[in-house]
Amino acid sequence: MPAPELAALRGILGPDGSRDAGKTVLYPFHTNTQKDTFMPNQPAHKFKLGLITATIWDNNGFYSTDLTRAYKGDTGEWRNTTSFHHSDLLNLAKCAERAEIWIGRQINK
C-alpha cells in the first residue's frame, strides 16, 4: 500500500484517509494561494548573443532560465528551439553565465 499522501494523490484514499470507493479524484497536498501560483507573463530579464537567448523568469524569488536558439522556419518565420549546433555552444555558455550572474545579484540584493 502506498504512503497515505501518495495514495490520496492517486485517488485511492479520500481526504479523510478512508477508502475512496474507486473514485478518480485528485487531492492536492496543500492549496496554493494566488501568491504561490503567480508568474508574470513578462520575463524578469533577457540576454541575447547572436541567435542565442537566455530568458530569465522570476517566480516569487525562484528564478528559472530558458535557453533558446532562433532560426527561420520553412515559410520564413522566426522560430525558437532548444536544440543547439556546436557553433552555438560558446554563445550558449556566455548567455548561461550572464544569466547566473544576474540571478545571483537579484538574490543578494
* pTM of model > 0.85: no
Query: Residue 76 carries which side chain, given as an amino acid letter?
Result: G
pLDDT confidence bin for 94, thresholds 50/70/90: very high
Query: In angstroms, rounded to a whole number, what is the distance separating the alpha carbons of residues 42 and 59?
Result: 11
pLDDT at 84 over 90: yes
Residue 28 DSSP label: -
Handedness of CA 23, 24, 30, 31 (dihedral sign): negative
Query: Which own/partner contact pairs does 51-55 have at CB distance under 8 Å and 24+ positions apart?
Result: 51/88, 51/91, 52/84, 52/88, 52/91, 52/92, 52/95, 53/80, 53/95, 54/95, 54/96, 54/98, 54/99
Query: The C-alpha cell of 79 is what?
Result: 522560430
Query: In angstroms, rounded to a whole number, what is the distance separating the alpha carbons of residues 75 and 86?
Result: 25
Instruction: Give me the residue spans of the domains in the chain.
Output: 1-31, 39-107
Query: Residue 56 carries which side chain, given as an amino acid letter?
Result: I
pLDDT per residue over 11-64, tens digit each?
Answer: 444 445 555 444 444 434 333 444 455 555 899 999 999 999 999 999 999 999
